[in-house]
Amino acid sequence: MVDERMSYTPKASLSALSHLLLKNISAIELVSGTGGQSRLGPVMQLPNGSMLDICGDGFNDRTVKIRSNGKYYFVFRSDLGIN
């Protein structure tokens, strides 16, 4: 099961941040489970050239929640150049 904080509505100040990936990065997909609960899905690669929107904080201080192509993921802040 995933922490409840992972399902919240994006903060307005963060949702305006968009990025175009200049390299492939690793991402953990956030998928809907039974009963509307979210869970962590597979680790995958988001390809170079993908557009993504930052939606909020991740599951720890090194990650952020993003949306790309209608799906939600957690990615490392360092992969996006965010401190």
Quickly list DSSP for the chain: ---GGGGSPPPHHHHT-EEE-SS-EEEEEEEE-GGG-EEEEEEEEEPTT-EEEEEEE-SSTTEEEEEETTEEEEEEHHHHT--
pLDDT value of position 44: 95
pLDDT value of position 83: 75
pLDDT value of position 67: 96
Query: What parts of the chain have a pLDDT lower than 70?
Result: 1-16
- Residue 81 CA to residue 83 CA, distance in Å, equals 7
pLDDT value of position 16: 54
pLDDT value of position 26: 97
Instruction: Give, in order, the Cα–Cα distances in Å from 70 to each of 6, 45, 61, 62, 73.
Output: 16, 15, 24, 23, 10
Topology given in CATH for the domain delimited by 4-80: SH3 type barrels. (2.30.30)
